[in-house]
Amino acid sequence: MKIIAVNISQTISTQTILDATKRAWVLVLSKCAEYDYVISVSKGVIEGFLKKTAEHPDSFQPDRVDFDLLPCTPQQIQQIKDYINVNKINLKFISTKYID
């Protein structure tokens, strides 16, 4: 399972989880293509589970990455939770993190 974790702590109070997650991340665009899911993290807690359908340069900041995202199914959410728990993935104090 390949997951990108992004920290939405600064924007979660003013945007939806989807909007806070989808744009302007400092990531490598070509590497993002290898990943299937994006999780939204705030203060070490997962707030959103999203299926990545595409990635592209941000329209306002071309050196950053935007995602096209859909909500995960309950089964996908459980698979992601299990993967993170089994592998003891630490999500505290991250800005972005590739998980595989």
pLDDT at position 11, please?
87
Among 63, 28, 79, residue whose Cα is nearest residue 39? 79
Give the 3-state secondary structure of residue 83.
Answer: helix
Residue 27 DSSP symbol: S
pLDDT-derived band at 34, boundaries 50, 70, 90: very high
Torsion of CA 52, 75, 85, 25, to 10 degrees: 10
Phi, psi of 45 (to 5 degrees): -110, 135
Q: Where are the alpha helices (DSSP H) in 1-100?
A: 17-22, 29-32, 74-86
- Average pLDDT over all residues of the chain: 94
pLDDT at position 81, please?
97
Residue 25 DSSP symbol: B
Q: Euclidean distance between the first and final Cα of the chain, in Å? A: 6
pTM of the model: 0.93
